Every structure is written in C-alpha cells, then in structure tokens.
Amino acid sequence: MTRRYDPDRRQRIIDAAIRVVAHGGIAGLSHRTVAAEADVPLGSTTYHFASLDELLIAALRQTNDSFAAAVRESGALADPGCDLAGELARITGEWLAGDRTGVELEYELYLAALRRPALRPVAGEWCAALGDEVTRRTDPATARAVVALLDGICLQVLLTDAVYDAEHTREMLTRLIPAVPAAGADPGGKLAA
C-alpha cells in the first residue's frame, strides 16, 4: 500500500484540535475527536502527536501570539512620543472586540497550563512575547507589571462578560508606566541648560 503524500496533515490536525477545544473545551479533546474533525485516520494524530499534551502545545503555540502580534503590528510602540498607556488600552479593546471565540480559546488553552505542567513553558511564551514588545518602551519590571495587569483585565472581561472599559485600562496602565520626560527635560526634574 502506497502512502499518500500529505504535507499539510500535521497543520490540519492542529487546526482541528483548536476547533474541537473551541466547541467542546479541553475536556472534549482526544485523538479520536481530533481525527474525526480533521478527517484523518486516528493513527495520523498519534503519529504527529504522541500525547494530547503535545497536541495542546502545538495548538497553544498557534493561538497564543495573537495579542502580542496585535501590539507588534500596531507600530504604536515604535513611536517614543505615543501615549503608551492609551495605545495599549486601545489595542486591548480591539483584540477583545475581535473574534471573541478566538480570544476565549486562547485563554482556555493558556489556563490549561494550571493542570498540565507540560503547557506551562508555552503559556509563559505569551507573557514573554508581550513583555518583549512593552520592554521596547519601558524597563523589564514595568513591562512584567503591564502584562500582568492586561492579562488580569482581559480575564475579568471574559469571565464576567463585562464590557471592556478602555479609559479604566488606560488609567490603570498610567499608574504603572513612568511618564516619558518631555524633550529637553532633565530626568532629575531640572531644566536642561
């Protein structure tokens, strides 16, 4: 029997796993449900992903960069004169207002790391990717605090089905992010001579 060349099968399996989790949560994920969703033989899922954790890692990697990518693609952080708090609040609002199922899925996979230690390093990549973007405009400790605040706000919005409040987010971020000194000002508070 000749094996059919199928270079996209691994990706189709990952995409199917994401759809299965989106529809039925992580509890509904199995090699069998993913194989059925991807329309591939059961052996294909176990060939490409020996364990469900391996499959979840691939799915999490695929989904968890969307917010950091939104920040990166906005280009706003590259402008040293932009209102960093305002831009992050705006981008967060746009991300939450976008594909809600995708955002919920991203968080479901992210939070699965609580019970599945194999996912923790990948879940940490989400924080690191966003932190790297924010560090371009502030120090690493502040960037970590900003990531934690945005993560908490997003999780609260998702869990409570609350309306995202960009102005509140901007205000909270402003409390964390040091003000950028005006051009020509001395960081010590004295006017430049």
The domain 64-176 belongs to what CATH superfamily? Tetracycline Repressor, domain 2 (1.10.357.10)
Residue 150 banded pLDDT, cuts 50, 70, 90: very high
Longest C-alpha distance within the chain, in Å? 83
d(CA 132, CA 144): 9
Domain 9-62 matching CATH 1.10.10.60: the answer reads yes
179-184: long-range pairs with CB below 8 Å, 24+: 180/80, 180/81, 180/84
Unique residue bearing structure tokens 């699965």:
112
Is it the case that residue 190 has pLDDT exceeding 60?
no
92-143, pLDDT tens digit by residue? 999 999 877 778 888 888 888 888 898 888 888 888 888 998 998 899 999 9
The residue extents of the domains of the chain are 9-62, 64-176
Residue-level pLDDT at 87:
93
pLDDT at 160: 93
Write down the mean pLDDT value for the chain.
85
